[in-house]
A and B are shown apart, each in its own frame.
Chain A
Amino acid sequence: MSDPRVSTGPIPTNPTTPAGDDVLVRVENMVKYFPVRAGGLIQRTVGQVQAVEDVSLSIPRGKTLGLVGETGSGKSTLARCVAGLIPVTSGRVIFDGRDITNLSRGAMRPVRREIQMIFQDPYSSLNPRRRVGAIIGDPFIIHKTATRAERKRQVQELMERVGLNPEHYNRFPAEFSGGQRQRIGVARALALKPKLIICDEPVSALDVSIQAQVLNLLADLQRDYGLTYLFIAHDLEVVRHVSDSVAVMYLGRIGESGPREPLYRSPRHPYTVALLSAAPAADPDAAAARQRIILTGDVPSPIDPPSGCRFHPRCPKAEAVCSQQEPQLEAKAGDAATHLTACHFPVQAGENLAAASRSKLR
């Protein structure tokens, strides 16, 4: 997916590019709060879970945006808002030149064909009581795009395309392995020939050897059908493998975003640096040479997030200003215009953050 040839070639399935815009999805200042209710019979709202706070991002056609962050950082909520599965509190989602924010179910229907999701858990994402053929054939029935006979043929084509035996059409999900089940999920997402596929941690529930197979399948499909991916993961190596650009989320906000290589080579946000230092390395020499940055404390509650920079209570570089002033997401000195960091004190090349974190621990 990182192959530069992919982006330059003509995209076969999406010949129309409205208004000459090469951005498929644009999220503008998205905010998503979940009300926290308490009380017995008469419920009142006692707080807000600030799951996504003022997030903006865009994904060019045929490219992959990797969204990383730890559990509770709001990445899945962001994905569900983009897919229109849950309403947005404020902000806009522009898909293919149209504003699709909080459309009614009827108005959203045609858009559903173009945005599909692949889910994290290959077990709970397939109804155990339905046969695989019915599961993959569902999109055709819901959108009335194929007759009965045609449907069976198309389902079997899809199964073959994702590497399943088309004769297993009549089997139940329980008869497949985790990797095969995830392929069923991919086939279902692919059925309507969508433009955007939101992958919500599609491989984190899989065995490592199976992860590679599914990732390669996704890469092949992107090349063949010109798909655009919003790829959510917490595995940094997986994201590095699949993404053209990467956004790092922490507690509902984007801390750093930019093209993959600069971001991985010279991360500027202390949180990104800490995340990268914690990722397991396959090379034992590299692993031994690396200095891990140990963050103290837990992720604060999104109901009552810290003031200023949301990372400041755990940041080894935090100073007084960090708790007072919200840092803007902007390009820092020496970075490309696309490499944005929200930090008052961005990490400089060669800086030893591990030492700083240790001195702070003491």
Chain B
Amino acid sequence: MSITGLEVAGQGAAAGEAALDADAAKIQGRSQWQLTWRRLRQDRVAMVSLVVIGIIILLAVFAPAFVAITHHPPNIAYPNQGETAAGNPVPPGTAGFWLGTDGTGRDLFIRILYGARISLFVGFVTTAIGTVAGVSIGLMAGYFGGIVDTVLARLTDAVLAFPYVVLALALAVVLGPSLKVIIAIISFFAWAAIARIVRGQTLSIKEKEYIEAARSLGAGPFRIMVLDIVPNLLAPVLVLATLYIPQAVVFEATLSYLGLGIQPPTASWGNILADAENFYQVAWWYVVFPAAALLITTLAFNLFGDGIRDAMDPRTERLFAAGRARGRRGRRAKRQVLADGSESDMSHAAPYVPPAGGS
């Protein structure tokens, strides 16, 4: 949808005639994405989350710039300015250490920024791999059915049933901890949930007449899956993917905390927290700031994911309208309706068109 939509819009723009373009813009139908975005913009929590996510990404991307400002590279210890006489971390604000130092006298702020780079990288990459794999596997299982479905669906169930922390720990021990191994492990557990949802949706979509219409035109299975099925799957997949990012971030932090993830001296929120354990009585900032970074990041992604889910549900439009009219009371009412599962499934029923509409 988005692909063809952009393509068509591009063609319209290329037509060149200003009047024609204005006309085209007027009659251009609103796509599902435009509607989703309009609803999302009215969701204050989701928009704040989006801004927070943006700030975190910017901080991570520009971490080297902060190094240039503070002159504190992430892996350099400052035993003189960065440690007290007893060898403990110095508190925030001391000697140009904005958030204080860690146990070996390194700049905590810079290390948290570098930890964010790892966390976000792992979060996005594993989610991307898991989503592509999950969508492909779910599509094939649902579309081809038969023996393909039996094998793939049972494999999915097996992965979902596995105690993943135990397997992850075992794999990390056997393969040796490294960034690649972490990404492989987290990706491996990412695809199954998406594959299961995609398979179920594919099973229902492939019975639609427009799939039969595509087959009667001579379209091959690949074309049907990409053009006719995937666009109808994007909404649930996008929600699942957004909600998987914070899980992956926490997963990475857990492995690193246990010493089986990112290895020192490379900074990661997990291994910073592991080190901070020894100092929590004398240096509160050493525990609080990396933990807060983890909390804020996962919370922002989770709230944003919830916002997308609400915005993609066509029935939330009227709830938002009610919310605008009645303020906070309306929002609470909306929550209640959404909490009640019967009112908030992801189905997109065709809107009712009066039969006498004419043609």
Contact = CB atoms under 8 A, between A and B. Distances in A.
Interface of A: 80, 83, 85, 105, 108-109, 112-113, 115-117, 119-121, 123-131, 133-134, 138-139, 142-143, 148, 152, 163-164, 167-172, 174-180, 182-183, 185, 188, 192, 206-207, 209-210, 213-214
Given A138-B227, A167-B24, A182-B359, 15 more contacts: A115-B216, A117-B216, A119-B209, A119-B212, A119-B213, A120-B209, A125-B212, A127-B232, A129-B1, A129-B32, A130-B4, A142-B217, A178-B353, A178-B359, A179-B358
B219 interface: yes
Contacts of A209: 356
A116 B216 contact: yes
Contacts of B4: 130-131, 134
Contacts of A112: 216-218
A134 B227 CA distance: 10
B231 A108 contact: no
A106 to B, nearest CB: 10
Nearest to B356: A207
A130 B228 CA distance: 8
Contacts, number: 130
Contact of B209 (A105, A125, A129, A139): A125
Contact of A174 (B217, B228, B232, B351): B351
A165 to B, nearest CB: 8
A197 B208 CA distance: 20
B358 A138 contact: no
A85 B8 contact: no
Contacts of B355: 177-178, 206-207, 210
B212 A172 contact: no
Nearest to B216: A117
A178 B220 CA distance: 28
A130 B224 CA distance: 12
A130 B227 contact: yes
Contacts of B223: 142
A123 B351 CA distance: 10
Given A124-B208, A125-B209, A175 B29 contact: yes
Contacts of B209: 119-121, 124-125
Secondary structure of the B contact surface, majority rule: helix
Contact of B31 (A123, A172, A185): A172
Interface in B170-194: none
B359 A168 contact: no
B2 to A, nearest CB: 9
Contact of B217 (A120, A139, A163, A169): A139
Contact of B220 (A105, A170, A175): A105
Contacts of A83: 216
A274 to B, nearest CB: 29
B11 interface: yes
Interface string B334-359: 00000000000000101101111111
23 contacts: A112-B216, A115-B216, A117-B213, A119-B209, A119-B212, A120-B209, A123-B350, A124-B208, A125-B209, A127-B228, A128-B232, A128-B348, A129-B1, A131-B8, A143-B218, A148-B11, A170-B8, A172-B29, A177-B353, A178-B353, A180-B357, A207-B356, A214-B359
B315 to A, nearest CB: 15
Contacts of A109: 218
B5 interface: yes
Contacts of A142: 217-219, 223
A121 to B, nearest CB: 6
A244 B304 CA distance: 61
Given A174-B351, A177-B358, A113 B1 contact: no
A210 B359 contact: yes
Contacts of A85: 212, 215-216
Nearest to A207: B355
B135 to A, nearest CB: 15
Contacts of B213: 117, 119, 125-126, 185, 188
A135 B353 CA distance: 20
Contacts of B218: 108-109, 112-113, 139, 142-143
B27 interface: yes
Nearest to B218: A112
A184 B4 CA distance: 18
A180 B358 CA distance: 7
Contacts of A207: 355-356
B354 A134 contact: no
Contacts of A108: 218
A152 B334 CA distance: 44
B28 interface: yes
A127 B219 contact: no
A167 B27 contact: yes
A354 B29 CA distance: 55
Contacts of B357: 177-180
B199 to A, nearest CB: 18
B210 interface: yes
A105 B5 CA distance: 29
Given A113-B218, A129-B32, A167 B350 contact: no
